Structure 1
Amino acid sequence: MRRILLSLILCVHSASMSAASGVFHTTAFEGGRSVSLSLTEGGPADDPAFDFDVVITLSEIDGGGAVLYRDEGRHGASVRCVSPATVRVNSAEYAVDISALPGTDWKHDLWATLCTAPAS
């Protein structure tokens, strides 16, 4: 039942992500350049200790909005929504400070995007 509920939440969330181009975190640098992290794929996690498996891409954008670089790599991550909130990339697990402000840390922003999405 949990997997079905998570699948439904992700489907609803994926539809809203598509409208927002999937960007979940952006870091600004001098000269107006920024780096954005986006979700391109996602679904229920294969590992029962996690809730979601996702694919992240990276883009560098200039001050005028033009894409300077788009990473063609497929960076997989797993996210656990419940305590202890965790993001796993490869075999490294990172604790998520759920009290962090949005934009402070990409792992928090990924967790928040997936785990605090409104469900109807």
Structure 2
Amino acid sequence: NVPKVGCEKGEQPSWDERQGRIEGALKWLRSELGLLRAQDKVLLSQLKRCQDTIEVIKKQRSEEMEDGEEEEEGHWEDWEIAEFDRRCKEGEIIDDLPSSCNGKTLDISPNVAEVTS
């Protein structure tokens, strides 16, 4: 929060008070900018992980299609989605991701932006 320097009944703030307010506001802005940059890094990391996961899924689907499995009506059946969810929970899908994505969790709670191993 930006510190407030008040003036009573039309009193003009001194130069030091004004300079203090400006410096306080700049400090707060720098802090907020730092938090936003950290959140940007987390979001970029999440996007990269999503892209990698999509590529893995595309590769798996194309391999399955080559093995003779035919897709009906261009969409996944409920059992396919359930199987994918099961494999994710058991870690099978994560094992197929590039090593840059494995073993990392992202904490995007407000005021905290970090990647943990």
Q: TM-score, normalised by structure 2?
A: 0.24
- The structure richer in helix per residue is 2
- The structure richer in strand per residue is 1
Q: TM-score, normalised by structure 1?
A: 0.24
Higher-RCO chain (CA-CA 8 Å, sequence separation at least 6): 2
